[in-house]
Amino acid sequence: MKKNLFLTTITILFFSCVNAQNAIPNPGFENWTSQGSYDNCTGWGTIDQSISTFCGCAGTAVKTAVAGEFHSGTLAMKLKTLSVFGQTAPGIAATGTINTSTQAVDGGVAYNLLPDSIVGWYRYTPSGTDTGSVEITLSKWNTGTNKRDVVGHAKITQNTSIVSYVRFAQALTYSLSGTPDTMVIVLLSSSTTAPQVNSTMWVDDLDLIFNSTTNIANNHLANALVSVYPNPSKGNFIVEINSTEKQTMQLFDVNGKLVLTQIINGKTNIDVSNLAEGVYNLSLINSEWFVVNKRVVILH
């Protein structure tokens, strides 16, 4: 086996031959099949076959049914960075096949929709200064250049401890117009160039959110309909939405902890005088579970 199996950076490559479907496969990680020395998560590629063959380990991306280690259902994905004969293997799972020779994710899921955001639930226990991540890339094949062009992308990173499940939501940034043909999601317990052994991330209940009212998934337009000011704020700020529909505002701290929930109706004052200074993530959710994300800075 080549040593580059354990390189710390995974490069995502896409190929045009994929299975046709329009959803995240096995998003709750409830379906697994036994491969003898390890379990394989249906619809997700891992390096666990190589890991198991190489050292007899269970793998870096395993199912967990331990109480508190799943958000809903009975199972979740547990990714753990391991040391295998002196080399570091980050916990990784992807909606494609992980090529251990090229360090790439081959294939992906056939996908032709334009979601606004990727959401889900996770926990994280970093080792040292490590960082875990959830990343989604939508792409389309360019016949002129004979390569893939990125249409939309989003990445959520976490570098501090989260002891119980919190919800994350991240809007996709669309850099090209048109329809994608492939989706790749990559989960990593260590996404830095210096991964740390024992960094562990649990992921459950992934989903893609759409703005069904306009059928436009360009988050630049979506965010233009929401104003947050003053930002930075001292004690309070205003959230103003260009909509007659009431929406739920959720404010999360840098650790992903929900610190404030409030109903927004048109132009609403938000009192944050009791919150500590820092950077917060503001999410607005309407009845269709369309998510808009804004960064808010609080100063006192």
Global pTM reads 0.69
Closest alpha carbon to 118 in 181, 187, 62: 187
Whether residue 243 is found in the same domain as residue 200: no
pLDDT in tens, 157-208: 999 999 889 888 888 888 888 889 999 999 999 998 899 999 999 999 999 9
- Strands 132-142 and 173-174, by their bridges, are unpaired
pLDDT in tens, 237-275: 999 887 777 888 888 877 667 889 999 888 999 999 999
Q: Is 235 among the domain residues?
A: yes
Closest alpha carbon to 53 in 40, 37, 68, 34: 37
Question: CATH number for the domain including 260?
Answer: 2.60.40.3080
Cβ neighbours of 211 (radius 10 Å): 23
Helix (H, G, I), strand (E, B) or coil at 207: strand
Whether residue 56 is found in the same domain as residue 94: yes
For residues 210-226, average pLDDT: 47
- Structure-token match 């610190």, residue found: 259
Domain boundary, last residue among 209, 241, 259 = 209
Domain region containing 237: 225-298
Whether residue 78 is found in the same domain as residue 105: yes
Percentage of the chain exceeding pLDDT 70: 81
How far is it, in rounded angstroms, from Cα 190 to Cα 6? 12
Structure tokens at 1: 């086996």
Closest alpha carbon to 19 in 46, 39, 42: 42
> Does 230 sit behind a cis peptide bond, omega within 30 degrees of 0 on the bond before it?
yes
Whether residue 40 is found in the same domain as residue 180: yes
Structure tokens at 137: 């890339």
Domain boundary, last residue among 181, 209, 237 = 209
Question: CATH number for the domain including 172?
Answer: 2.60.120.260
Total structural domains within the chain: 2
